C-alpha cells in the first residue's frame, strides 16, 4: 500500500481517487517532512526522497512525499531516518536564512505544478 503525504492540493485533486493521499491542508513544507518522519518512525518505508527537485525549502511552499507499508529492515530504517532528518535540518537551515515568502496565487499554482511533476514520476511507477 502506497500513500502520498502532501500539502499540495493539485496532487490531491489529480491522484486522490487513485492512491491514498494524506493531505495536510494549509500546512508547511516542514510540516510535511515532520509527518513523513512520523511515518518512518512508525515502520513505514520512505519511497521518494524528501528533498525532491532543486527548488529550495524556503522557495517552494509545497512538498509531496511517497511512503509505503513495505517492510524495512534495520539498516534501511536507519538510512531512511537519516535521510528525513537531513531533510528537516536542511529545511530548518533555509528557513533560518529567510522564511518562505507569502507568494501570490499565480505563483502558488506554479509551485504546485512543479511539485506535482516531481512526485508524478514516482506515482506513475506504481499505478
Partner 1 sequence: MKLELGIIPINDIQFGAESKVENGTIYVNADELKALILEDENLKSVELDIARPGESVRIMPVKDVIEPRVKVSGEGAMFPGMISKVAPVGSGRTNVLRGSAVVTTGKIVGFQEGIIDMTGEGSKYTPFSKLNNLVVVCEPIDGLAKHAHEKAVRMAGLKTADYIGKLAKDIVAEEVETFETVSVKEGIEKWPELPRIGYVLMLQSQGLMHDTYVYGVDAKQSLSTIIMPTEIMDGAIVSGNCVSACDKNTTYHHLNNPVIRDLFAQHGKTLNFVGVIITNENVYLADKMRSSDWSSKLCEWLGLDGAIVSQEGFGNPDTDLIMNCKKIEGKGVKTVIITDEYAGRDGASQSLADADAAANAVVTGGNANEVIHLPKMDKVIGYPEVADIIAGGFDGSLQADGSIVAELQVITGATNEMGFNPLSAR
Q: Which is nearer to partner 1, 20 or 107 (CB)?
A: 107
77 counts as binding partner 1 under rule CB under 8 A: no
**Under 8 Å between Cβ of 23 and 9:** yes
Three cell numbers, residue 122: 514516482
89 counts as binding partner 1 under rule CB under 8 A: yes
61 counts as binding partner 1 under rule CB under 8 A: no
48 counts as binding partner 1 under rule CB under 8 A: yes
DSSP letters along 95-113, please?
HHH-PPP---HHHHHHHHH
Upper half-sphere CA count for residue 30 (Cβ side, 13 Å)? 12
106 counts as binding partner 1 under rule CB under 8 A: yes
Q: Which of 4, 30, 46, 72 binds partner 1 (CB under 8 A)?
A: 46
Amino acid at each position: 500500500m502506497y500513500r502520498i503525504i502532501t500539502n499540495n492540493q493539485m496532487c490531491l485533486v489529480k491522484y486522490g481517487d487513485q492512491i491514498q493521499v494524506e493531505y495536510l491542508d494549509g500546512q508547511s513544507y516542514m510540516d510535511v517532512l515532520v509527518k513523513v518522519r512520523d511515518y518512518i518512525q512508525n515502520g513505514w518505508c520512505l519511497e521518494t526522497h524528501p528533498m525532491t527537485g532543486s527548488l529550495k525549502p524556503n522557495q517552494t511552499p509545497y512538498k509531496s512525499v511517497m511512503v509505503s507499508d513495505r517492510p524495512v529492515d534495520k539498516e534501511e530504517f536507519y538510512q531512511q531516518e537519516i535521510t528525513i532528518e537531513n531533510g528537516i535540518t536542511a529545511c530548518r537551515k533555509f528557513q533560518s536564512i529567510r522564511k518562505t515568502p507569502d507568494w501570490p496565487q499565480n505563483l502558488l499554482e506554479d509551485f504546485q505544478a512543479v511539485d506535482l511533476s516531481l512526485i508524478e514520476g514516482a506515482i506513475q511507477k506504481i499505478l
